[in-house]
Amino acid sequence: MITLPDRMAYARKTKLELQDVLELILQDEIDRREQKNLTMRLKRASFTEEQTFEGFDWDAPVTFDRQRVRDLFSLGFLERHEDALFMGPAGVGKTFLASALGHAACRAGRHVLFLRADQLLKQLRQARADHSHEKTLRRFLAPDLLIIDDFGLRRLDSIQSSDMYEVIIERHRRTSTILTSNRTVEEWISLFDDPILAQSAMDRLAHNAHQVVIEGQSYRIRLRPGGESLKN
């Protein structure tokens, strides 16, 4: 980090005018505050790993609509309060891309929250027991971008179905949500305890979402030691 003595030494060496020195010092302070705010946003987002657009291997042997995904990284979908669904088998990069979008949103000054579907549902269930359900629900409704990872691993009971329905309905067209799943949207309805709730939630979510289906070799295997050899 550039310090004030560094700037003063640079100013003497380059014989800068006072106004130019002050502008440099002011910009340094702006940059410092922006970096501090970004660090706080990333911490609040609770990412399991720091994954970015720049870190994704675009040559990985997986098939998906690359142009659609690159368009998502422009973050226009956040402005329009649209959603995104990443679907495909385990290890193909769904969570990586979802997290990278969240990281990009943090860099753009957005409030992001990342958590697994089972964590979200567990927290909401616990909140019912201690009478903090409304407060906990608001925590999931507040972010500009909510990323729910690994949705659909298990069938939902009646309480989980109700909670998931409420999160989806309340966020619909107000904020943006990203879901990752190893199931297709058509399979999601059968996961809910109540088919009416399921149909209502899925209709809203699917019709407002950019759907990205990823197929191919496990991206996760390529990231382990020695995985690079799988390129050939």
99 in Cβ contact with 223 (< 8 Å): no
State the fold for domain 46-231.
Rossmann fold (3.40.50)
The pLDDT assigned to 19 comes to 76
Nearest of 93, 87, 52, 49 to residue 219 by alpha carbon: 93
Q: 0.85 cut: is pTM over it?
A: no
The model's confidence at residue 231, banded by pLDDT at 50, 70 and 90, is very low
CA angle 59, 153, 89 (to 5 degrees): 20
The pLDDT assigned to 9 comes to 74
Q: Where are the domains of the chain?
A: 4-43, 46-231
pLDDT tens readout for residues 53-85: 999 988 888 999 999 999 999 999 999 999 999
- In angstroms, the CA 76 to CA 72 distance is 7
The pLDDT assigned to 71 comes to 97
The pLDDT assigned to 227 comes to 52
